[in-house]
Amino acid sequence: MIVHLKKSVSLEEAEKLAAKYKSALFENGSLVMVTPSKLKAADEELQKYAEQVFVTDTDIQLAGKQYLKTKREVNLGKVAIGGNTNNCVAITGPCSVESEEQIEAAAKLCVELGVTILRAGAYKPRTSPYTFRGLGLEGLKLLAKMRDKYGLQVITEVRDSTHADEVIEYADIIQIGAKSMYDHGILNKCGKTKKPVLLKRGFGTTLQEFVQAAEFILSGGNPNVILCERGIRTFETKTRFTLDLCGAAWLKEYTNLPIILDPSHAIGYAYGVPDLARACVAMGIDGVLIETHPNPKVALSDADQQLNFDEYRALHSSLKKVADAIGYKIV
Amino acid sequence: MIVHLKKSVSLEEAEKLAAKYKSALFENGSLVMVTPSKLKAADEELQKYAEQVFVTDTDIQLAGKQYLKTKREVNLGKVAIGGNTNNCVAITGPCSVESEEQIEAAAKLCVELGVTILRAGAYKPRTSPYTFRGLGLEGLKLLAKMRDKYGLQVITEVRDSTHADEVIEYADIIQIGAKSMYDHGILNKCGKTKKPVLLKRGFGTTLQEFVQAAEFILSGGNPNVILCERGIRTFETKTRFTLDLCGAAWLKEYTNLPIILDPSHAIGYAYGVPDLARACVAMGIDGVLIETHPNPKVALSDADQQLNFDEYRALHSSLKKVADAIGYKIV
Amino acid sequence: MIVHLKKSVSLEEAEKLAAKYKSALFENGSLVMVTPSKLKAADEELQKYAEQVFVTDTDIQLAGKQYLKTKREVNLGKVAIGGNTNNCVAITGPCSVESEEQIEAAAKLCVELGVTILRAGAYKPRTSPYTFRGLGLEGLKLLAKMRDKYGLQVITEVRDSTHADEVIEYADIIQIGAKSMYDHGILNKCGKTKKPVLLKRGFGTTLQEFVQAAEFILSGGNPNVILCERGIRTFETKTRFTLDLCGAAWLKEYTNLPIILDPSHAIGYAYGVPDLARACVAMGIDGVLIETHPNPKVALSDADQQLNFDEYRALHSSLKKVADAIGYKIV
Amino acid sequence: MIVHLKKSVSLEEAEKLAAKYKSALFENGSLVMVTPSKLKAADEELQKYAEQVFVTDTDIQLAGKQYLKTKREVNLGKVAIGGNTNNCVAITGPCSVESEEQIEAAAKLCVELGVTILRAGAYKPRTSPYTFRGLGLEGLKLLAKMRDKYGLQVITEVRDSTHADEVIEYADIIQIGAKSMYDHGILNKCGKTKKPVLLKRGFGTTLQEFVQAAEFILSGGNPNVILCERGIRTFETKTRFTLDLCGAAWLKEYTNLPIILDPSHAIGYAYGVPDLARACVAMGIDGVLIETHPNPKVALSDADQQLNFDEYRALHSSLKKVADAIGYKIV
């Protein structure tokens, strides 16, 4: 149950109430209290303090259509997505920051195509300790340099709580990766900022759990959460993962959060990325994240799935046509 | 290894060779022999008889790009798909034939929209013995009546070998359902006809197994096989199945068979079908199969996922725009 | 809802009732009618004819604990399983009948160890058309010969409806394979015999669907159904399948059917079969099916997973100890 | 490739080598260097420094049988597992520490049955922010109190990097939970202690990735890693997860690490825990972790799956018999 408290309720009173009802409490314009979903009605005491009450079926509360009927709008610097914008944001860049030269090439590609958001990893969550784990802080600084030089927004991933503060400081948009999606340390810190957070679905994560992870951030007081489907793990191994567009349809129907899709990580092979990216855009979603690299063959991570720049140019142009066909705009 | 035998080789000689090399043998213009894929080179004897030899990596042989680099064209009555047609065929109709009135309404919808293929089930593969199992032969006859009256092609499913001959006789296109996909009895019989066969992927079936099932039909001598992805079973249960578009991309890259997608069975709920259908078409595939019902609420099977006619009209119109954006045409 | 009809109800009356209530009807001592599970109470008319009524939650009806609280006993020739027997039956033999010499070696191994049931496939459901598909009828005849010569019961698989009658005629126990589990043609025929049927769970099949497939046989009038879990398909591919012992625990808790486990097909590699077989027996189930071959390296199918005879002798001896530890007996 | 460096090699020299070959380096008796597995032979320079070299197929290096043929022995306070001990350690306790009274009851049960390791969670990784997240530091202190009072070893879970140091300080055995398994922050810290680490497999994690996560700890210098299989996520939802005993057999065959199984979290329901626990022990593994609660119905987390004390007493007694049947001992 979500309770919008009256303006007259003091923070002190609200905290007492929150403790009593084992609820989350945050301020977003006014004070908002979120009880466990088992509570299905406001008792007399709560009604005294409540301006408005929203009852929810499950612990998908702040993120659900039962609370907000229309999709939230999230501002990403020069562009906004969600709400009534019908914008579909293109985000691109390499898997990892590898060098200034490499990331600058990606930044220039963005500028050339009118893409406003540059992505690249500085802290890479690898499955083996014997592989490249990213440039760390140095990578963050290179991203910041690109932002300043080219007027781009940068998005990069936080891998674990130990460097969460750093990433929150340097990035314009914070990405929580598929493997870190349950990390309370990260989720709590992302709830304390107002920067947009792109939350990736774990590859073994149900839609219910995925949206509940978003609730950690929302109930911490940050309304700027974007969901990102990037492929789930299934019995099929010809492709790295299985992009769950049925799941994307469900998220669109039942949640109020913008949705960005990541076909590159889903299939894991460049050959299928253009067709899948067009499919994503045709769904009517809020953005598409595609990995590109000036020279994919020598990439230090995810070499198989990154498009080269010419492939991306061609794809970007065709995405505009598909978006146009359904009344959306690539921004 | 696929061996195109010389025109001079007699059927008798060919049969001896096939027995010796444990191979499939069929005629399609000329005699074609398919050895197990473990055989990687033609020995002296084989070379004597061979016009042309194609070595393959796996038991995806006749269906693979290593054999035919370009997609096969399959003729579906008034329209063709595959090859260089850039056609995307729309197929629609109810889950089951329920009555003459109901199937006639669907037939009229097809005529109205220029859809040339009507689908509906007569033999339904149900998971419980205590539910409607289809009208059987009576359903087939109603479909044939619609064909004759409205000039449509009809596609319907064979559930098990006991009525395979009947379905092959009555249908224009034979559908092998997801649950029957491994049925040697059905596959063998479909290899003996030249009618187009739409082979649905089992929901627990790998892409490799799926295409190998198509090999049963192809190596029986029927080149008119169409693959249909209709959702696989994953851990996600908010939707009925998970439409595997990564898999569709793989099929497009590695096989020479036309691909039709079925978003209705994949998601299992009408709310997501339009977005998913647009995504399917944007992939650049050869057809899309969508369930419609004059009154979905009273449908005897799959009530949740069927679109009503107005929903389908709107969808059909938007599919044309998406197809157009990628250089395809809805036929 | 299951309705035991009064002795006084004639077959003709019963058939009218069954038609009216869209129910299955069969005789097993007395007449039994099974309505769709949506029907939750007997109306006045039904009450007039009913001796006893059992309401069920789902379409797991005849197979459920809500109907029969104790496990059904099934007679397998010289031994019985289920009921209060605490018997765990050992079944062994090669994947396929390959020759008289090979199957006779297996039969002798059974006799030596006191195993009473010999298994081997005559019709093999293969995933590729370019591999060995079994000896067919000749294989069935060899199995029958072993039965007569060595006093064994034989179990073999029906692959599709086209040879179902043959298998039902030759086998003592009919196996329905994982890939044929939804085949109405086979299920219907197995409902018309009284021979025991071992129904294998499809590797993509939920427990609910699995037991519902058993309902097809039970509601056809054959009470002798045994469930067999043989591994499900998951994202893990280091092993061929994943043996679902949680599922076995669920079947034991909620159904009234005996359960046999097949660790050989589950893991697909001989190295793990002994440990897994001991785990199966320790569950307190009704049987264990293990593939053995006189010389696994030259086996024509499933070469990797079959134990040689010495490995099986050692395993069989240890299974007795494990069974003994939990109050069961290997028979 | 694992390189045992000669005693004569200084730390400084070793660090230079490690940098040159992009290798992990740690001391465990002598200096050990681990290169990426792609390196398949020692060049001249490496040979000069190497005492012994082990080539490995994949990035399963320190954990693999190619490196150590026999299972590692890990000391758990009063008992050891692995090596040649044939010990199977019983670990029990509630899901969460809820109160001193509750955890003391569990401690007394351990003492009564001769169980030497008490488990309970202080930091709970929950999927919803609106549920109980554990007592945190207070919980750790209660566990430490039980250790001191009853002479038990305590094991508890680290949820994210923010409190990893705390848990490493208070616990005798550190548990890394299924949802934190990829957390580099935690893995790195666990590599720097010598306390035993129980690493749980993520429910969406392949065996390969699972063992590679153990490599992070091993290559940090901590040889005391125990693998714990606790159920993977599959399409079957009648049970919470699917206990992967095929996977356990694979781990036993290919790795040198002790294996503990957790049937409670796998099935998620108390009814199946005893049968599954017996199956686990019959596998011949190194330990079994079972959740118990003085009053499961009022438990603040995982209420459905915890056994009450009488159920656990009966189970513990039967586990001894099963272990005995296969030559193991419950310790």
Instruction: Determine the distance in angstroms separating the CA of C202 from the nearest CA of chain D, rounded to an integer.
Output: 12
Instruction: Determine the distance in angstroms separating the CA of A33 from the nearest CA of chain C, rounded to an integer.
Output: 39
Query: What is the Cα–Cα distance from A301 to A121, expressed in whole angstroms?
Result: 10
Residue among B240, B232, B224, B238 at smallest CA distance from B200 = B232
Query: What is the Cα–Cα distance from C278 to C263, expressed in whole angstroms?
Result: 10
pLDDT > 90? residue A83: yes
Query: What is the Cα–Cα distance from C95 to C264, expressed in whole angstroms?
Result: 10
Q: Is there a contact between A246 and B235 if contact means CB atoms under 8 Å apart?
A: no
**Dihedral-angle region of residue D221 (phi above 0 means left; psi in -120 to 50 means alpha; beta otherwise):** left
pLDDT digits (tens, 9 = 90+) for A44-73: 999 999 999 999 999 999 999 999 999 999
Q: Please state the φ and ψ torsions of residue A61, each to the nearest 5 degrees.
A: -115, -75
What is the pLDDT, as a whole number, of residue B133?
Answer: 85
Residue among C275, C195, C257, C198 at smallest CA distance from C230 = C198
Instruction: Determine the distance in angstroms separating the CA of D137 from the nearest CA of chain C, rounded to an integer.
Output: 34
Query: What is the Cα–Cα distance from B107 to B97, expressed in whole angstroms?
Result: 11
pLDDT digits (tens, 9 = 90+) for D179-236: 999 999 999 999 999 999 999 999 999 999 999 999 999 999 999 999 999 999 999 9
Residues of D in contact with B234 (CB under 8 A): 235
Query: What is the Cα–Cα distance from A16 to A49, expressed in whole angstroms?
Result: 12
Query: What is the Cα–Cα distance from C32 to C61, expressed in whole angstroms?
Result: 12
| Residue of C60 and A133 predicted with greater confidence | C60
**Residue with structure tokens 């839609």?**
A207
Q: Which of C232, C266, C318 sits opposite D234 (nearest CB)?
A: C232
Q: Is there a contact between B208 and A278 if contact means CB atoms under 8 Å apart?
A: no
Strand partners, C30: C28
Buried b (16+ CB within 10 A) or exposed e, B91-118: bbbbbbbbeeebbbbbbebbeebebbbb
Residues of D in contact with B233 (CB under 8 A): 235
If DSSP codes are grouped into helix, strand and coil, which group holds residue B26? strand
Query: What is the Cα–Cα distance from D81 to D228, expressed in whole angstroms?
Result: 13
CA B107 remoteness from chain centre? 20
What is the pLDDT, as a whole number, of residue C112?
Answer: 98
Q: Residue A272's CB: how many other CB atoms inside 10 A?
A: 26
Taking each helix axis from N to C end, the angle separating D100-113 and D309-325, rounded to the nearest 10 degrees, works out to: 30
Q: Which of D205, D232, D235, D240 to mutate to test the interface with B (most CBs of B within 10 A)?
A: D235
Q: Is there a contact between B247 and A242 if contact means CB atoms under 8 Å apart?
A: yes
Assess contact for D297 and D94: CB atoms under 8 A: no
Residues of D in contact with B235 (CB under 8 A): 204, 233-235, 237
Structure tokens at D109: 């049960």
Average pLDDT over residues D109-129: 94
If DSSP codes are grouped into helix, strand and coil, which group holds residue A103? helix
Q: Residue C7's CB: how many other CB atoms inside 10 A?
A: 9
Task: Say how many CB pairs under 8 Å bridge C and D.
Answer: 144
Q: Is there a contact between D159 and A212 if contact means CB atoms under 8 Å apart?
A: no
Query: What is the Cα–Cα distance from D97 to D120, expressed in whole angstroms?
Result: 6
**Nearest Cα residue in chain D from C264:** D246
What is the pLDDT, as a whole number, of residue A122?
Answer: 95
Chains that touch A (3 or more CB pairs under 8 A): B, C, D
Assess contact for C35 and C23: CB atoms under 8 A: yes
What is the pLDDT, as a whole number, of residue D126?
Answer: 84
Residue among D138, D247, D237 at smallest CA distance from D200 = D247
Give the helix, strand, coil percentages of chain C, each rounded to 5.
40, 25, 40
pLDDT averaged over chain A?
A: 96
Q: For chain D, give the secondary structure using H, E and C.
A: CEEEECCCCCHHHHHHHHHHCCCEEEEECEEEEECCCCCCCCCHHHHHHEEEEECCCCCCCCCECCCCCCCCEEEECCEEEECCCCEEEEEEECCECCCHHHHHHHHHHHHHHCCCEEECECCCCCCCCCCCCCCCHHHHHHHHHHHHHHCCEEEEEECCHHHHHHHHHHCCEEEECHHHCCCHHHHHHHHHCCCCEEEECCCCCCHHHHHHHHHHHHCCCCCCEEEEECCECCCCCCCCCECEHHHHHHHHHHECCCEEECHHHHHCCHHHHHHHHHHHHHCCCCEEEEEECCCHHHCCCCCCCCECHHHHHHHHHHHHHHHHHCCCEEC
Query: What is the Cα–Cα distance from D309 to D173, expressed in whole angstroms?
Result: 23
**Nearest Cα residue in chain C from D262:** C246
List of chain C residues with pLDDT < 50: none
Average pLDDT over residues D32-53: 94
Pairing between β-strand C153-158 and β-strand C173-176 as defined by DSSP bridges = parallel
Assess contact for D206 and D247: CB atoms under 8 A: no
What is the pLDDT, as a whole number, of residue A300?
Answer: 86
CA distances, D91 to each of C121, D146, D151, D277, D324 (Å): 44, 15, 14, 12, 18
What is the pLDDT, as a whole number, of residue C233?
Answer: 98
Query: What is the Cα–Cα distance from D214 to D229, expressed in whole angstroms?
Result: 13
CA distances, A41 to each of A57, C140, D232, D273 (Å): 12, 67, 37, 37
Q: Residue C82's CB: how many other CB atoms inside 10 A?
A: 23
Query: What is the Cα–Cα distance from C233 to C207, expressed in whole angstroms?
Result: 13
Q: Please state the φ and ψ torsions of residue B300, each to the nearest 5 degrees.
A: -80, -10
Q: Which long-range contacts (CB under 8 A, 24 or more apart) does D171-175 make?
A: D171/D140, D171/D143, D171/D195, D172/D76, D172/D77, D172/D117, D172/D147, D172/D196, D173/D76, D173/D117, D173/D197, D173/D198, D174/D198, D175/D119, D175/D200, D175/D228
CA A140 remoteness from chain centre? 18
What is the pLDDT, as a whole number, of residue C131?
Answer: 86
**Dihedral-angle region of residue A328 (phi above 0 means left; psi in -120 to 50 means alpha; beta otherwise):** beta
CA C312 remoteness from chain centre? 22
Pairing between β-strand C173-176 and β-strand B329-330 as defined by DSSP bridges = unpaired
Q: Is there a contact between A162 and D179 if contact means CB atoms under 8 Å apart?
A: no
Residues of C in contact with B131 (CB under 8 A): 36, 59
pLDDT digits (tens, 9 = 90+) for D262-282: 999 999 999 999 999 999 999
Query: What is the Cα–Cα distance from C226 to C229, expressed in whole angstroms?
Result: 10
Q: Is there a contact between A244 and B253 if contact means CB atoms under 8 Å apart?
A: no
Assess contact for B32 and B4: CB atoms under 8 A: yes
Q: Is there a contact between A161 and D185 if contact means CB atoms under 8 Å apart?
A: yes
Structure tokens at D229: 């299989």
Assess contact for B282 and B317: CB atoms under 8 A: no
Q: Is there a contact between C237 and A237 if contact means CB atoms under 8 Å apart?
A: yes
Buried b (16+ CB within 10 A) or exposed e, A46-77: beebbeeebebeebbbbbbebbbeebbbbebe
| Structure letter (DSSP) for residue A96 | B
Residues of A in contact with D205 (CB under 8 A): 204
Residues of A in contact with B249 (CB under 8 A): 239, 267, 271-272, 275-276
Instruction: Determine the distance in angstroms separating the CA of A234 from the nearest CA of chain C, rounded to an integer.
Output: 5
**Nearest Cα residue in chain B from A279:** B279
Q: Indicate the pLDDT class of residue A255, thresholds 50, 70 and 90.
A: very high
What is the pLDDT, as a whole number, of residue B132?
Answer: 85
Contacts of D325 (CB under 8 A, 6+ apart): C318, C321, C322, C324, C325, D282
Q: Which of B243, B272, B326 sits opposite A318 (nearest CB)?
A: B326
Radius of gyration of chain B (CA): 20
Q: By a Cβ cutoff of 8 Å, what residues of chain C touch chain D?
A: 204, 206-208, 231-232, 234-239, 241-250, 252-253, 266-267, 271-272, 275-276, 278-284, 318, 321-322, 324-326
Assess contact for A172 and A147: CB atoms under 8 A: yes
Percent of chain B at pLDDT > 90 equals: 93
Residue among C285, C293, C274, C294 at smallest CA distance from C330 = C285
Q: Is there a contact between C186 and B215 if contact means CB atoms under 8 Å apart?
A: no
Structure tokens at B73: 């064209």
Q: Is there a contact between A283 and B281 if contact means CB atoms under 8 Å apart?
A: no
Strand partners, A54: A2
Q: Residue D297's CB: how many other CB atoms inside 10 A?
A: 9
**ipTM field:** 0.96
pLDDT digits (tens, 9 = 90+) for A274-321: 999 999 999 999 999 999 999 999 888 888 999 999 999 999 999 999
**Nearest Cα residue in chain A from C241:** A235
Q: Which of B130, B215, B219 sits opposite C37 (nearest CB)?
A: B130
Structure tokens at B324: 């157009």
User: Given strand B50-54, what is the order of strands in its sheet?
Assistant: B24-28, B30-34, B2-5, B50-54
Q: Which of C36, C130, C159 sits opposite B36 (nearest CB)?
A: C130
Q: By a Cβ cutoff of 8 Å, what residues of chain B touch chain A?
A: 204, 206-208, 231-232, 234-239, 241-250, 252-253, 266-267, 271-272, 275-276, 278-284, 318, 321-322, 324-326
What is the pLDDT, as a whole number, of residue B28?
Answer: 84
Average pLDDT over residues A102-127: 95
pLDDT > 90? residue A12: yes
pLDDT digits (tens, 9 = 90+) for B221-277: 999 999 999 999 999 999 999 999 999 999 999 999 999 999 999 999 999 999 999
Q: Indicate the pLDDT class of residue A117, thresholds 50, 70 and 90.
A: very high
